[in-house]
Structure 1
Amino acid sequence: MELRPAVPGDEGLLASVEQAANIDALAHVFDGPYPWTEVRDRWVEVLTDPAVRAWLVVVDQVAVGYLAHDATTLRHIGVVARHRGTGLAAEVLASVPESVDRLWVLEANTRARRFYERHGWRPDGRSQPCEFEPFPTEIGYSRAPH
């Protein structure tokens, strides 16, 4: 696995990889067409924000995942379906600095919640609506320092 820094110009690739990672995993939460343009536009913002570090997860020279965080918050992480259950996501999560100790996850995304909990993250009482329709609830997770 390689973490390749994502740069402006990668937003379309990032949006496509995110779509491949989420289209089936979140079908029970989001109905309707995938908001590819909105996701791409969000990646444009991420890639131009100097406070955020972003990467493409590359295996055998193919982008199969993504990672983005700022100093304290894990913003985005995911791997495409064919790499689920391989340990790749855990390897990517392990690369996140200890100072990054907060994240948001969809309440209905039980697979992701179990993943984070296996890796020491816990619900912390925060909640907010997701930015995409139908605006399902996201819950906050935090982790204790190692």
Structure 2
Amino acid sequence: MTAIELRPARPEDREFLHSLSPRLSGVPGPAWHDRAAMDGFQDRYMEATFAKVDPAAQTLVAWSADGKPLGYIHMRPFKDGVTDEPCGYVSLLALTEQAEGKGVAHLMMQSAESWARAQGYRFLCLDVFADNRHAVEFYERRGFQTETLRMVKPL
């Protein structure tokens, strides 16, 4: 992929952001949650994330040179689970199918790191489903490490 432009999301991008919701809910998740549960989770998470404008948060949309939206990333302030100090949090990262493997997610993560450093944060964190090996490996290649594991036993 040639030139990729990242720009802050605009109100007219809302439909595009929500259009990628099925891509997020369709990732490998826990076997005990069916697709309907994952869709519901993703819908609730998207609604909560974008329900109000947080001036400290930032959503960037990636565009191809020919004006096609490729994906987006949403970063927001968070608190470290151990020290309670402010840190950055990547709450959403989604790509169109056509953008996968083209360096778009890598570019967006570089922007997230720059955003977090500009805020003076010492950490950038995120959550990912353990069964989503593709995403886990992507983040590990970028230096992310597992800090905690939440374990679940279906009854």
- TM (norm. structure 2) is 0.67
Structure 1 or 2, whichever has the larger Rg, is 2
Aligned residue among 52, 59, 62 for 1:57: 62
Consecutive aligned runs of 4 or more in structure 1 exceeding 4 Å deviation: 27-30
Distance in 1, matches of 2:48 and 2:12, equals 13
User: Structure 1 stretches of 5 or more lacking a match?
Assistant: 130-146
Distance in 1, matches of 2:19 and 2:10, equals 15
The alignment partner of 1:74 has SS state of strand
Q: Which has the higher contact order (CA 8 A, sep 6+)?
A: 2
Higher helix proportion: 2
In structure 2, relative to structure 1, the CA distance for the partners of 1:126 and 1:52 (3 Å cut) is farther
In structure 2, relative to structure 1, the CA distance for the partners of 1:2 and 1:43 (3 Å cut) is farther
Q: What is the letter of the counterpart of residue 14 of structure 1?
A: L
Q: Is the 8 A contact 2:71 2:94 kept in 1?
A: yes
User: Structure 2 stretches of 5 or more lacking a match?
Assistant: 78-87
Report the CA distance between 1:16 and its aligned residue. 0.4
Q: Is the 8 A contact 1:54 1:66 kept in 2?
A: yes
What RMSD, in angstroms, separates the aligned Cα atoms of the two structures? 2.9
Q: How does 1:1-146 map to 2 (within 5 A)?
A: 1-19=4-22, 21-22=23-24, 24-26=26-28, 30-32=34-36, 34-35=39-40, 38=44, 40-45=46-51, 48-59=53-64, 60-71=66-77, 72-96=88-112, 97=114, 98=117, 99=121, 101-127=124-150
Q: Is the 8 A contact 2:25 2:35 kept in 1?
A: no
Query: Kindly, what percent of the aligned residue pairs are identical?
Result: 22
Higher strand proportion: 1
Report the CA distance between 1:38 and its aligned residue. 3.5
Distance in 1, matches of 2:147 and 2:137, equals 15
- TM (norm. structure 1) is 0.70
Q: Is the 8 A contact 2:26 2:35 kept in 1?
A: no
